[in-house]
Structure 1
Amino acid sequence: MLRTIKSFLLVFAVVLFAQSCADRLDLQPEDNRLSADAAFEDPDAYKQFLAKIYAGISLSGQEGPAGYPDLAGLDEGFSNYLRLYWKMQELTTDEAIIAWNDGTIHDLHNQVWTSGNEFIRTMYSRLLYQVALCNEFLRQTTDGKLDGRGVSSELRTEIQTFRAEARFMRALTYWHAMDLYANPPFITENDPIGAFLPPQIQRADLFNYVESELLDIMDNMAAPRANEYGRADRAAAWMLLAKIYLNAEVYTGTSRYADVITYTNNIIGAGYTIPSIPYFHSFLADNDSNGAEDEVIFTIPFDGLRTQAFGGMTFLTHAPVGGSMDPSEFGINGGWFGVRTTPTFVEKFPGEENSNDGRELFYTDGQNKDILTVATFTDGYAIAKYRNVDVNGNPGSDTTGDHTDIDFPMFRLADAYLMYAEAVLRGGGGSMGTAVDYINELRVRAYGGTSGNISQADLDLDFILDERARELYWEAHRRTDLIRFDQFSDNGVWQWKGGVQSGTTTDAFRDVMPLPATDLGINTNLEQNPGY
């Protein structure tokens, strides 16, 4: 899949150019520019286009690592989808804080952002760009288009699977938009191209759309674990459904916990396993082959030679390294002295930095637990979760030490186990005994035995929220979790929340991000979210 990305970039640019011209004038170009149909004369172009959609999360532009960005207005490395999404989900919480003073980045952790925040604006733009990619793929693969190009029946069958995957990727993007911005602009392949102001969709309506899309594509998705590595299959669609159902009460006001049980059961029965390897192996450079892949339901692949960008896993490996940390132990050429964690997160682990829980990966040499000065990297414990070395300590494929081979586990079985347990506790059905068994399977891996096991009496919602932090930290779940548990804004305190060292609560309207002021000034169909 990675090899197809670069060769598609020119094809994609040609398709968009030709399509936009054709919508304005029914003329053929007099020079050598390709039309959209000519661009798809190569049957491989369809898969190459799909590869660009998947790469929309990992890459930031057309050349890599920089030089021809997808988006203008922010440094290309900063504008990467995964890097931005991670910042929205982690820097706004107790799990992460950043030393840098780039623009308004501190406003994220401080929870004092405005509609002019450039990181919030660029995340919004990245989401809309990703939706546009998916929409264009669907426009270019209608029956009418395929008939006109004389596409073979064999390729048509494959394209139907591609279309289902493109719709999955669009649903994933709209879930992120729904979760972050609540009421974003809404556009599909049926809307016009060009000078068009998209209508605004309300959160509950977008929930219904995402749900209906996922249900509709299910039969055309590959069976669980039957697709190419890095491509979505039916289990990924089940997981996304379970995610929106878990948060349905936030999104729509109506709980759907019984549906969480249904779809997590589907996933758990699909052959994924918690591997018998140490927890930290799941975040190494060979996590596509060291056994960690047996747990992963949907991954974002990275390759130090083929997916070079200064966002994604390059950011998540370099930015947390600083102070006395040795970059060579992380398989990189240097640390960026940026991200570390707060005392509130440290205290989730019994024994803190001396915990018997193997998921505790704090680096404390020369680091202070308390954060007196945000800009000082050594204030706050560092986290050594992502390391660009294999299980034997060998560095990744990029010998310069810039880019990493670590794949990002967007959905994995441990999350499904925890979602099942939470849904049981919230009255969705299922079995408390089974929920405890699932939790203990994770804790056996964490503790290397049964010493950390819990009983049914230990399992409550407070435990689930803390266990999700211990198991899934820095995997872009925390903001959504805290909001669901009502601990993000007007409840829950950690250092520097609210812009004060001891931390303070903030207004509840911050559970939703603002629509960017720049878009409100252009699109008269949009109304700002309350509080902004």
Structure 2
Amino acid sequence: MKRYIVCIVLAAASLCGCQKVGVNIKTELSPAVFPQSQSQLVSVLGSSYAALRGNYALDYYFMQSLTTDEAILPARGGNWYDPANGYNNLHYHNWTRDNGWTNSTWTWLSTVVGVCNSVTATINASSQPAAFKQSSVAELKVVRDLAYFMLMDLYGNVPLDTLYGDFSQHTNVPRAQVFSFLESDLKAALPYLTTDGSATMYGRANRYTAYALLAKMYLNAEYYTGTARYDDCVAACDSIINAGGGAQYALQPRSSYLQMFYPTNGPAMKEFIFAIPYDPNATSYPGTNGYNYRARYDLDRNLGIRYHYAGSTAGSNIDPVINQTTGGGLVNSKPSGPESTLFSYYSAYFNDAGDIRNGQWLTGLQYNADGTPLMVKTTKGGYDATYQGSDKGATYVYQLNLTPQVYFRTNAASGANPSLFDLGNDEIAWNMGYRNIKYYPDSTNTSSRNQNNDMPVFRLADILLEKAEAILRGAAVTQGQTPLSLVNKLRSVRTTSPAWTNITLDSVYNERCRELSYETWHRNDMIRYGKFEGAWGFKTDADPNHRIFPIPSTAILLDPALRQNPGYN
């Protein structure tokens, strides 16, 4: 078990209730019933982090990645066809107010806001010294403001609900006003936030977490508010770059870049400014899942044994496909393999043979750890459903080959059904698409698919790229760091290719795609660069209203003062 923050998140079990923005969370925790010692109150802070961890790696990830050209999750023979949640709707941009991910993500982020409000009230009512209360409340503000930033980014105009015990209805606030509130709230918190970036603060918000959030807001300010704030973005980035005399945060060397996302990652990662720790043994906040199931979705179903994922073993009738049997494998502990990238995304950005970031992708023919070909045993019909020979049921053995394109086959026998976003249910269909294993499969937890990989929210690499982009968009150069020098600094520890000699906004965008793939920032980037209305995969929608999601039906039912976003019924 990762010990560094688990101790403070266990307090989440003492809170319960449900929350929507506009109605504060009802909780059993209050100053009247909860002990008042400083150590006990510090542990209560953990409930806000447990809530934040809740749906970040699943629901939020899907909203930010499956809506872009970065990832796609189609059905195969009915598997993973989920009309309630609508993976297909995320891809086509035809979601509605009743989409499952739209609803669950709103509820999750609203819960984080409510928990932070509740814990803030508890700490303020305690008898602890003012300095302790100020620093604790400042930390909670950063967590709450991060949740509000995500709400603002996803849903646009959202209600502001900042007081515990206020059960009145709240209507939507214009996005520019939400932006101003978050900016003021974060700046007011800065003096009281610790600058400690040691292992004792890992997974908790410090002053540089606040600066990273401000930098992200300022980089997108022109889109959010209509007013460019690029110089402010550079200033916030510089505060992080200069932390600890420039030594507090550092780029991970090329030799260990991939390990930065392994199940063994944690406080030793000096590139992490703020990360969300995941631990299969940690308590989840009530009403959230707290899971990191990335490899379940991203690892081809034939590769569970190769990567020792979740104790995977071969089934009794098919080897090594473990999803086609319930007899000989760990039925609930296996990769499902429905998600892949689109080849247009992969081929555009991952074409440098010397780039270590290529190592996060599984492409083409697959091999065992000892270098021997990874062979899959099936039948001729199981490999290709369109095969109509009399020996359709005969054994067929092939080397696993992940193919680049995701497409619907025209032959009806394939089982492909475009109306159901279904590729078919044979090996050809299941092996479509290159796979990303940035969050490397966890072989240490053999009892479930929950992984130990912490997920970074803010990294130094992102800060360098943000500063470079802000300067290219009009900000002044500071500290002698030009866009070219900033990006070359990053590339010097990512690729053996020669340094760049020129730079453009498009080349920074391409570098962001390489550096930050599958880290929940690609939708944000596509919108800022004017690429979100483009066509990719099967998606052709170009409605700019779809840059934000609809306010969920469940939220409007609970708070009739909410108003639906433009372009939605």
TM-score, normalising length: structure 1: 0.82
Letter in 2 for 1:52: S
2:230–2:473 CA contact under 8 A, matched in 1: yes
Look up the match of 1:461: 505
Q: 1:208-227 maps to which residues of 2 (within 5 A)?
A: 208-226=180-198
1:331–1:387 CA contact under 8 A, matched in 2: no
Q: 1:100-111 maps to which residues of 2 (within 5 A)?
A: 100-102=80-82, 103=84, 104-111=86-93
Distance 1:275 1:125, change over 3 A: same
* Selected match of 2:535 from 493, 496, 506: 493
Distance 1:496 1:141 in 2: 51
* Selected match of 1:434 from 482, 492, 496: 482
* Selected match of 2:211 from 235, 238, 248: 238
1:46–1:159 CA contact under 8 A, matched in 2: no
Aligned-pair CA distance for 1:164: 0.7
Of the two structures, which has the highest relative contact order with CA contacts closer than 8 Å and spacing of 6 or more?
Answer: 2
Matched, 1:349 2:349: yes
Matched, 1:337 2:331: no
Aligned-pair CA distance for 1:512: 1.0
Distance 1:185 1:57, change over 3 A: same
2:293–2:449 CA contact under 8 A, matched in 1: no
Q: Deviations for 1:369-396, whole angstroms, at most 9, x for unmatched residues?
A: 111145443221111211145xxxxx33
Answer with 1 or 2: which has the greater Rg. Answer: 2
Look up the match of 2:361: 362
Aligned-pair CA distance for 1:327: 4.4
Q: Secondary structure at 2:292's aligned position in 1?
A: helix
Q: Secondary structure at 1:411's aligned position in 2?
A: strand
Q: Deviations for 1:125-184, whole angstroms, at most 9, x for unmatched residues?
A: 111111111111122222xx22xxxx243xx53332211111111110110111111111
1:218–1:234 CA contact under 8 A, matched in 2: yes
Distance 1:344 1:336 in 2: 23
Unaligned runs of 5+ in 2: 75-79, 312-333, 366-400, 409-420, 423-428
Distance 1:339 1:406, change over 3 A: same
Q: Deviations for 1:1-43, whole angstroms, at most 9, x for unmatched residues?
A: 3123224422x34999xxx9xx9xxxxxxxxx99741223454
Aligned-pair CA distance for 1:44: 3.6
1:313–1:407 CA contact under 8 A, matched in 2: no
Letter in 1 for 2:499: N
Q: Secondary structure at 1:314's aligned position in 2?
A: coil
Look up the match of 2:104: 122
Aligned-pair CA distance for 1:308: 6.6
Q: 1:180-329 maps to which residues of 2 (within 5 A)?
A: 180-189=154-163, 192-193=166-167, 196-226=168-198, 228-270=201-243, 271-276=248-253, 277-288=255-266, 291=268, 293-306=269-282, 314-329=292-307
* Selected match of 1:50 from 30, 45, 54: 45
Letter in 2 for 1:254: T
1:313–1:408 CA contact under 8 A, matched in 2: no
Q: Tell me how many residue pairs correspond in the alignment.
A: 466
Letter in 2 for 1:525: A
Matched, 1:38 2:33: yes
Distance 1:35 1:183, change over 3 A: closer
Look up the match of 1:70: none
Look up the match of 1:28: none
Distance 1:51 1:494 in 2: 41
Q: Secondary structure at 1:121's aligned position in 2?
A: helix
Q: Secondary structure at 2:197's aligned position in 1?
A: coil
Distance 2:89 2:308 in 1: 29
Distance 2:276 2:216 in 1: 18
Aligned-pair CA distance for 1:320: 0.5
Letter in 2 for 1:358: I
Unaligned runs of 5+ in 1: 24-32, 60-79, 390-394, 498-503
Q: Secondary structure at 1:329's aligned position in 2?
A: coil
Look up the match of 2:322: none
Distance 1:35 1:265 in 2: 40
Letter in 2 for 1:209: F
Letter in 1 for 2:436: I
Aligned-pair CA distance for 1:521: 4.0
Is the helix fraction higher in 1 or 2?
A: 1
1:340–1:381 CA contact under 8 A, matched in 2: yes
Matched, 1:384 2:437: yes
Distance 2:520 2:252 in 1: 22
2:18–2:111 CA contact under 8 A, matched in 1: no
2:355–2:494 CA contact under 8 A, matched in 1: yes
Root-mean-square deviation (CA, aligned residues, Å) is: 2.6
Matched, 1:4 2:8: yes
Look up the match of 1:473: 517
Distance 2:271 2:37 in 1: 36
4+ residue runs of structure 1 moved beyond 6 angstroms? none
2:160–2:172 CA contact under 8 A, matched in 1: yes
TM-score, normalising length: structure 2: 0.77
Distance 1:15 1:254 in 2: 36
